[in-house]
């Protein structure tokens, strides 16, 4: 069985040695092969900014700048990682407030990293999205509710938000998807089980759930849109041995497992078919390798693939497997449902409406319509009761005199109060048409010119 090689997070011709010294900076020693030119040199020169720092965005910035094809112009909130950044971007500027990027029109795209100060980072991201900028956002940045809110702001301001994570958009996932689509004609036969094993040294909720969010996009490329989440684990600490079942729209089910290991962030995807097993090895450092029975399948030349090339293509308007920000919202929603599944001990269904904010608006309007109908029925009932009771209590002349006195004491606008709830309801219904018109205009603004 001979492995087929894939360029992983650190591709073969431009590998990196990553070392982390406690809480100190991340150090990189680039090993660039001068005989091969990366595909990013064929793309127009771009200037980037970096807000915050984590391992994924730091490696992405290094890959973008490694051959001077692009430039990291300014950084914010990088702290002790500044020395590591200046190894590949010696002329980088240091900024004080990321909000100042709204006035830096020479910046082509902004990389936004995760941070321990998450609330502050979310607010900074919200400000940048309002400015209609191009953003590369490291996942997971926030919970699914905040992510959907950002999606609404992004559509309104025609911003570009590209979700990013190590291995996201890798062509090896497309190749596994091809094996699944081949069915009985594939080397392993029809695929019956998909098992994703994530090796982690620190198995806590704050590390396991973010990793599941990043990996769910890879599994979504194999089983389709995730429609159900079922999580199990130990009674004392479920996240230490977490196992998550994902039901896909294609009818397949994938199992995501946490495996204890000293090598953090390494992973394996195994496709179990009727005639064998295909295994994709995804080490944290080095190329990805695929093993299938009876030799390696024919594959394109993926030796030079890396996340930086995919990001540059996405910024140029060419899909490269990163997905939309709405896809990232779904990944975050999957991670959020794990705790609910553990607590209820059952499968949690995930709805896949294209416009959740519009559906929520319709639900509110339906509830408002029911309340309005009850008010109308109550008003009619009150009028009928009063109509039958008044003639019996008073004579016709006394009733006419009382009615004239009531008219003289109350203003006409006060006497028309039953009409106001109906007018308010109709005005709210008009907001739905305004929202659809604004979303249509925003979609036209995102189309390539």
Spatial separation of the C-alpha atoms in residues 207 and 119, rounded to whole Å: 18
Spatial separation of the C-alpha atoms in residues 423 and 301, rounded to whole Å: 64
Is residue 188 located within the same domain as residue 273?
Answer: yes
Report the chain's mean pLDDT, rounded to a whole number. Answer: 77
Boundary of a domain, candidates 132, 149, 164: 164
Q: What is the pLDDT of residues 218-271, one digit of tens each?
A: 999 999 999 999 999 988 889 999 999 999 998 999 999 999 887 666 899 999
Confidence band for 414, pLDDT divided at 50, 70 and 90: low
Looking at the predicted structure, is the pLDDT value of residue 402 above 80? no
Is residue 262 located within the same domain as residue 189?
Answer: yes
Is residue 202 located within the same domain as residue 240?
Answer: yes
List CB contacts of 275: < 8 A, sequence separation 6 or more.
187, 188, 189, 293
Residue 348 φ then ψ, to 5°: -105, 120
Spatial separation of the C-alpha atoms in residues 49 and 70, rounded to whole Å: 11
Is residue 208 located within the same domain as residue 338?
Answer: yes
The helix/strand/coil state of 444 is helix
Is residue 251 located within the same domain as residue 398?
Answer: no
Is residue 127 located within the same domain as residue 160?
Answer: yes
CATH of the domain at 44: 3.40.50.720
Angle at 135 between CA 131 and CA 141, to 5 degrees: 105
Confidence band for 327, pLDDT divided at 50, 70 and 90: very high
Is residue 115 located within the same domain as residue 253?
Answer: no
Residue 183 φ then ψ, to 5°: 65, -130
Is residue 205 located within the same domain as residue 344?
Answer: yes
Confidence band for 206, pLDDT divided at 50, 70 and 90: confident
Calculate mean pLDDT across residues 423-449.
54
69-to-37, 162, 358 alpha-carbon distances in Å: 10, 20, 42
Give 44 or 346, the one with higher predicted confidence.
346
Boundary of a domain, candidates 316, 349, 382: 349
Cα diameter, the chain: 108
Q: What is the pLDDT of residues 92-139, one digit of tens each?
A: 999 988 888 999 889 999 999 986 556 688 888 999 999 989 999 999
Boundary of a domain, candidates 135, 164, 193: 164
pLDDT of residue 145: 87
Q: What is the number of domains present in the chain?
A: 3
Question: Which element (helix H / strand E) includes 374?
Answer: helix 356-393
Q: What is the pLDDT of residues 147-197, one digit of tens each?
A: 998 999 998 888 899 999 888 988 889 889 999 999 898 889 999 999 999
Residue at 176 is within a domain: yes
Looking at the predicted structure, is the pLDDT value of residue 409 above 50? yes
Confidence band for 68, pLDDT divided at 50, 70 and 90: confident
CATH of the domain at 217: 3.30.360.10
Is residue 334 located within the same domain as residue 367?
Answer: no
pLDDT of residue 291: 85
Is residue 59 located within the same domain as residue 153?
Answer: yes
Spatial separation of the C-alpha atoms in residues 449 and 443, rounded to whole Å: 12
The helix/strand/coil state of 244 is strand
pTM of structure: 0.70
Looking at the predicted structure, is the pLDDT value of residue 418 above 70? no
Question: Which element (helix H / strand E) includes 317?
Answer: none
HSE-CB of 315 using CA atoms within 13 angstroms: 26
Residue at 318 is within a domain: no
Looking at the predicted structure, is the pLDDT value of residue 448 above 50? no
Calculate mean pLDDT across residues 16-21.
35
Residue at 306 is within a domain: no
- Domain extent, residue 430, equals 358-446
């Amino acid at each position: 069985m001979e492995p087929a090689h894939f360029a992983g997070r650190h591709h073969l011709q431009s590998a990196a040695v990553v070392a982390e010294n406690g809480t100190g900076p991340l150090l990189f020693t680039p090993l660039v092969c001068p005989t091969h030119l990366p595909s990013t040199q064929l793309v127009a020169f771009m200037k980037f900014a970096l807000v915050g720092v984590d391992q994924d965005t730091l490696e992405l910035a290094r890959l973008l700048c490694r051959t001077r094809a692009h430039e990291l112009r300014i950084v914010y909130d990088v702290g002790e990682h500044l020395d590591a950044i200046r190894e590949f971007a010696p002329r980088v500027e240091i900024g004080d407030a990321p909000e100042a990027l709204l006035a830096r029109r020479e910046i082509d795209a902004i990389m936004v990293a995760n941070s321990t100060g998450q609330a502050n980072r979310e607010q900074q991201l919200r400000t940048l999205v309002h400015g209609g900028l191009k953003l590369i956002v490291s996942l997971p940045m926030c919970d699914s509710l905040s992510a959907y809110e950002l999606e609404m702001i992004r559509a309104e301001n025609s911003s570009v938000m590209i979700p990013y994570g190590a291995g996201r958009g890798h062509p090896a996932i497309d190749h596994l998807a091809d094996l699944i689509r081949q069915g009985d004609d594939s080397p392993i036969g029809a695929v019956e089980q998909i098992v994703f094993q994530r090796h982690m040294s620190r198995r806590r909720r704050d590390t396991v759930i973010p990793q599941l969010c990043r990996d769910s996009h890879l599994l979504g490329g194999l089983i389709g849109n995730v429609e159900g989440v079922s999580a199990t684990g130990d009674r004392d600490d479920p996240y230490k041995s977490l196992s998550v079942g994902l039901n896909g729209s294609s009818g397949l089910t994938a199992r995501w497992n946490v495996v204890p290991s000293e090598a953090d962030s390494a992973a394996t995807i195994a496709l179990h078919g009727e005639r064998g097993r295909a295994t994709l090895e995804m080490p944290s450092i080095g190329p990805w390798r695929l093993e299938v029975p009876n030799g390696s399948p024919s594959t394109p030349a993926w030796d030079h693939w890396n996340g930086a090339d995919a990001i540059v293509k996405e910024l140029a308007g060419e899909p490269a497997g990163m997905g939309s920000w709405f896809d990232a919202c779904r990944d975050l929603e999957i991670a959020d449902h794990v705790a609910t599944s553990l607590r209820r001990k059952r499968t949690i269904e995930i709805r896949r409406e294209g416009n959740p904010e519009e559906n929520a608006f319709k639900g509110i309007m339906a509830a408002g319509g029911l309340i309005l109908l009850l008010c109308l029925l109550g008003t009619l009932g009150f009028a009928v009761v009063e109509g039958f009771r008044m003639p019996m209590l008073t004579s016709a002349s006394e009733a006419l005199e009382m009615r004239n006195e009531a008219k003289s004491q109350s203003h006409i606008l006060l006497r028309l109060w039953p009409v106001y709830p109906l007018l308010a309801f109709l005005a709210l219904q008009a907001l739905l048409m305004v929202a659809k018109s604004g979303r249509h205009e925003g979609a036209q603004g995102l189309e390539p010119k």
